[in-house]
Amino acid sequence: MIYYFLYELIFEQFKDKDWFLIKALNVFQYVTFRTAYATITALLLSLMFGGKFIEALKRWNVGQQIREEGPQGHMAKRGTPTMGGVLIVGSVLVSTLLWARLTNIYIWTIIIATLLFATIGFLDDYKKMAKQESLGLTGKQKLLAQLLIALGVFLVLLVSTNYPWNVSIPFLKDTALPYGITKIAPGFYLILIVIVLLGWSNAVNLTDGLDGLAISVTFIAMVAMTGFTYLSSDLRWARYLELTHRPEAAELTVFCGAMAGASLGFLWYNAPPAEVFMGDVGSLAIGGAIGTVSILTKQEFMLVMVGGVFVIEALSVMLQVGVFKMTKRTTGTGRRLFKMTPLHHHFEMKDWKESKIVFRFLILAILFALLSLSTLKLR
């Protein structure tokens, strides 16, 4: 809206005038400028409204429910306001609507996808509050809803006549060509979209278990994704770094910046000891947004490295379940690979302090982000 009002409406109308203030509005055409201010706007919105929002959650008795089988130290967190993801999503969407070019179809795709994932999380959180227990929507209900969103994203790409149906693999520059050696049929690409969106929305959800953990890792991942999105949308950088050029994705840089800013603002209130939890409305929305951005920018496989901590958390659960079922089938007694999953709970059971786990995972997230950025020239 700010872009449309100041650039499209005012600058384009009076650009022939030799007025300093009018000429200064030319800066609004640059996505880097608007991304910076989208980041600041989302951060300030989170900080300004965070305290009031938390007070409102307390008045409405929207408190966190804790699993009985979880670490006993978490019982003290019972009743802490949850559904703080509404603050994150709201800050991101308002900032994006203010600073992005709204004629871009990818902006509306990411906005709608994020809102739909947030809706699933909201219904899940609301059901938990209504039933006063730690279980909300069933796994089948969540899965069906997420599949429908994935299908919607696929349909958007299907009507995009210039979308390249190829898989871009890190380290292999030939795979970045629109019609390179990894070109696949759209139907098979739909399977990839389903895996990415379901995998990432649930991976962030699994990581959200300690004060400040998921949101701090999200901030690092989104900073890296902001860089990848900008580079892949700029023709000069895409050619130089041999990335799949996605000019339509330029405005997604604004969204990524807004998500990074909102994450930092939410961390102000979610840092240990947390005043509010994001809930499923936040974790599912963040994971869905990250996955959707990676698909639109052709960074599906690079995302595995960018969000390495999320991947490790999800893999720990998969390994735990797999080893337990396999050993139970062969020996009759199921064995566990970890003391408890997701992985951060394993370290809790080993008497690591919560803050130490969060900071060490954050260091890992920074390392993964730096490694992912280093691959830009390793092709």
Alpha carbons 28 and 193: distance in angstroms, whole number? 33
Contact 276, 58 (CB under 8 A): no
132 Rama sector, left if φ>0, alpha if ψ -120 to 50, beta otherwise:
left
**pLDDT tens for each residue of the chain, 379 residues long:** 788 877 777 767 777 777 767 777 888 899 999 999 999 999 999 999 999 999 999 998 886 665 555 565 555 677 789 999 999 999 999 999 999 999 999 999 999 999 999 999 999 998 888 776 666 788 899 999 999 999 999 999 998 868 889 888 888 878 877 666 788 899 999 999 999 999 999 999 999 989 999 999 999 999 999 999 999 999 999 989 888 888 999 999 999 999 999 999 999 999 989 999 999 999 999 999 999 999 999 999 999 999 999 999 999 999 999 999 999 888 888 899 999 999 999 999 999 999 999 999 999 999 999 999 988 887 6
Query: What are the sequence ranges of the domains in the chain?
Result: 32-298
Alpha carbons 34 and 47: distance in angstroms, whole number? 20
Enter the pTM of the model: 0.94
What are the Cα distances from residue 288, in Å, to 32, 102, 309? 24, 20, 16
